[in-house]
Structure 1
Amino acid sequence: MRNGNLTQIPPRINDTIPAHPGHRRRRFVTQLLSAIITAALTAATATPAFAVFNGSRADSDDYAWAVRVQLAYPEGIASCTGSLIKEDTVVTAAHCIRNNGRSPSAIDVTFHYGQKGDQYTVGVATAVPSPHYDPALIKDDMALLFLQSAVSEPTIELASTPAPVGAGVTVAGYGCTGDPFNAAEPCNAARRLIETELTTVPAGACPDISGPWQFCTYSPYTSANRGDSGGPVIWSDHGEQKLVGVTNALELPPAPAYLNLSASVPYELDWIKAAAGLR
């Protein structure tokens, strides 16, 4: 099976990256640099995620902590999604800030993206990937963005336990809205945050998951897409909405539609809290 990262970058050349020898057949982060005009940036080991295919517009009041992440690379501006977990800290995917060993020259996050009068942008002072991030395994594909100034937006609570198999979760993002299985379909980037519902399934259902740092979700008709990388995976734990995952990648055909890979927040919780200074 192949899988693709979900970072978005406008494609100038070609959004498909050949598999590297010794790796599974996936599109790699090089895609970030090879596509810079309208489409997608990918994580190191999975297909790119667009802005939620077959989703619906999210209620802005419920997602005041969600941000659109813009990353300046030499080839152009890449797009991801992120979640505010502290007044000056956003969590996103590591592959968004590490592309073939390169880092963006500048990163900004935008709150209330697409909402006239409410939208505003804050610069990122420092971007830190998980210390054990391994793009070849899509391992620990999570990063923290430390803002240049604190904001007064609400934050999303972090889950301390994984969502059980069979649980319903919500994914949201600012990526493309087309079918991720149709490479010829244009990006059509979302103008507002889009959300959809997926179901957690056994990790073995996603061939590219190789450890407890990730979990697998499924839907027969909806999926994350390019530009949704780093976006929230939300689970209602005893009635409380919590961030249980960060969108990483999508299994490509011949996988059954649609299998998404997400980095586990509970697995990374100790590192997140220590790095962000959370209790």
Structure 2
Amino acid sequence: MQPLLLLLVFVLLPGAKAGKIIGGQEARPHSYPYMAFLQVEGPEGRSSCGGFLVREDFVMTAGHCWGSAINVTLGAHNIEKQERTQQQITVLRAIRHPRYNEKNALNDIMLLQLRNRIKKNRFVRPVALPNAGEKPKPGALCTVTGWGWISLNRWSDKLQEVQLRVQSDQKCTRRFPSYCSRTQICVGDPKQKKAAFQGDSGGPLVCNNVAQSIVSYGDKENGTTPEVFTRIASYLSWIKRTMKCFKRQDQTEQSWSSSCD
């Protein structure tokens, strides 16, 4: 793999400002086999996001990570090296939620259908999704992983991890006018200098081995919390319907139909 120019993606709401992962550490190599590194070709050039494998042929990420072409690397620890554990796959379809709103980041979720199914092994395998109605309680300690920035002038080529606590909805409602407790989760203790930010967009918040939410956006202050994550349980019906529909569509070689919308 050639060295990558990382123009790291993070949704910026009015007054928001790009930041970094703070208070984290390098993850043990391949301890998060569901993690995906995304290279995105967009209107402003190449950028990158995080994502996570949810089925052998689908990766989940944030809606604002959309691009005209996306390449996925799975099984990576150091994304600057060609590791034997890596599987690189192009995206056949980027399916953003039909009600995604780029102005306020509501419904910030996207499914990436891979051109080929991955080879599942101890380095690459899906993460579990939550049950319908499930939401981690305030105080729950969860983990975010990504290849985002680790200081103001240095990004990480090795996977980083940080533990963050879920907060009450009220803490995000006071800071973010568009925060929606039904479809979003408030994450990060303001008293701790720990945060997921630029370059970690689209990565999962994992609580007890279940991916509960997706890194979406943060405050205008660098590295401050709480931050807003997309709640996966709110979209389970859309997720299941979309993956089933496109699998059926490919098997029958049909063109796009409204049933997949």
SS in structure 1 of the partner of residue 219 of structure 2: strand
Q: Does 1:168 align with 2:137?
A: no
Q: State the alpha-carbon separation in 2 of the partners of residues 154 and 56 from structure 1.
A: 22
Q: State the alpha-carbon separation in 2 of the partners of residues 193 and 37 from structure 1.
A: 16
Q: Does 1:155 align with 2:123?
A: no
Match of 2:33 in 1: 64
Gaps of 5+ in 1: 1-35, 98-103, 179-184
The 5 Å alignment of 1:1-279 reads 38-43=6-11, 45=13, 46-48=16-18, 50=20, 52-97=21-66, 104-113=67-76, 114=78, 116-151=83-118, 152=120, 153-160=124-131, 161-178=134-151, 185-186=152-153, 188-206=154-172, 207-208=175-176, 209-211=178-180, 212-219=182-189, 220-236=192-208, 241-253=209-221, 257-277=224-244
Kept after mapping to 2: 8 A contact 1:81/1:228: yes
Cα displacement (A) at 1:74 = 4.2
1:193-241: per-residue Cα shift (whole Å, max 9, x none)? 11111111112212225212111111311111211000010011xxxx1
Percent identity among equivalent residues?
25
Q: State the alpha-carbon separation in 2 of the partners of residues 213 and 49 from structure 1.
A: 23
Question: Which structure has the bigger radius of gyration?
Answer: 2
1:122-156: per-residue Cα shift (whole Å, max 9, x none)? 10010011111112222110000000000023110
Cα displacement (A) at 1:38 = 4.5
Partner amino acid, structure 2, of 1:193 = L
Higher alpha-carbon deviation: 143-152 or 67-76: 67-76
Q: State the alpha-carbon separation in 2 of the partners of residues 262 and 90 from structure 1.
A: 17
1:164-185: per-residue Cα shift (whole Å, max 9, x none)? 111111111111112xxxxxx2
Partner amino acid, structure 2, of 1:198 = L
Q: State the alpha-carbon separation in 2 of the partners of residues 120 and 256 from structure 1.
A: 32
Q: TM-score, normalised by structure 1?
A: 0.74
Q: Which runs of 4+ in 1 moved over 6 A?
A: none
Q: TM-score, normalised by structure 2?
A: 0.79
Q: State the alpha-carbon separation in 1 of the partners of residues 145 and 228 from structure 2.
A: 14
Partner amino acid, structure 2, of 1:252 = K
Cα displacement (A) at 1:121 = 1.2
Cα distance change, pair 49–108 in 1 and its aligned pair in 2 (3 A) = farther
Kept after mapping to 2: 8 A contact 1:174/1:191: yes
In the comparison of the two structures, how many residue pairs are matched? 224
